[in-house]
Structure 1
């Protein structure tokens, strides 16, 4: 599936989607972020094989959970301010070519749980307290938030 179908091909009240093995070459985000009732998205094992994703301002208005797993070709992920305003849980797993976390994550004040798993040592060093990108993962409500960073 090199291209994702347009949003009109999906049920209007679709709440959850799990994409696996689609091998999409074009970023599916412009379609998915327009699905107004979408509450969870999981990209897994070859769902998207492109190098860049962009989450636009106002996109994913009801999204609560996002999992990006085994996106081995993803290098750049941009999140614009105003995207995913309800996001509570974000998991990034085995996206080893991803150069950095999106700076726009710092604007998502609803984020309560961030899991970063099976990444390289450089990621761990950047994201720990005092690291150069710690300000991105420093969640907005430290008493009710959780951040875990794991590596192989």
Structure 2
């Protein structure tokens, strides 16, 4: 499986049966979809070594550990979709300078417990073009440092709190 480029793993029982991710091929994987509960509430150990990964879809993973800490170090990640209880924590971490160096598309969908998105440092997500934040009703605002998303072309907000929308209108455009 060393030449495998695209992999989707899904559990038929997304709430109870954990996905077995111990043997993910870390070398040539470019696209990965994990749909279902991940053991320990963490990304697989090999995630940081997926250097060719350019697209990641996570759904119903029930991560309790902030996925941004690892994912922002992936040098080729261009598309990230966090959907449907993929992350059940209350805060997404800081986006460090030089974090997510090639990310162009970020989707945050149905993250029902998310309340805060940590600060964005200058130089983080330098290629971000599209940001979708949908049905994250407890999230109160875009991150501090949002103005550093200078390449952002499209911001979609759907089913968000009135407080979030009014703050986003005040802060948009970021430059």
TM, length-normalised to structure 1: 0.81
| 2-structure distance, mates of 1:48, 1:4 | 10
Shift, 1:123, TM fit: 2.5
* Aligned with residue 94 of structure 1, among 135, 140, 156: 135
Q: TM-score scaled by structure 2?
A: 0.71
Q: Give the aligned partner of residue 50 of structure 2.
A: 11
**1:80 CA drift (Å):** 2.2
Cα distance in 1 for partners of 2:46, 2:69 equals: 9
- 1:7 Cα offset (Å): 5.1
Structure 2 matches for 1:49-128, cutoff 5 A?
Answer: 49-54=88-93, 55-78=95-118, 79-128=120-169
CA distance in 1 between partners of 2:115 and 2:156 (Å) = 18
Partner of 2:77: 38
Query: C-alpha separation between the residues in 2 aligned to 1:21 and 1:49?
Result: 9
Higher relative contact order (CA 8 A, sep 6+): 1
Question: How many pairs are equivalent?
Answer: 134
Structure possessing the higher radius of gyration over alpha carbons = 2
**Structure 1 runs of 4+ off > 4 angstroms?**
7-10
1:3 Cα deviation from its structure 2 partner: 1.0
Structure 1, unaligned stretches of length 5 or more?
Answer: 129-133, 141-152
What's the RMSD between the two structures over aligned residues? Answer: 1.6
Gaps of 5+ in 2: 1-37
Deviates more, 1:65-74 or 1:54-63: 54-63
Report how far residue 81 of structure 1 moved. Answer: 2.1
Summarize the Cα distance change of 1:20–1:88 in structure 2 as closer, same or farther, 3 Å threshold: same
DSSP-derived class of the 2:157 partner: strand
Q: Which has the higher strand share?
A: 1
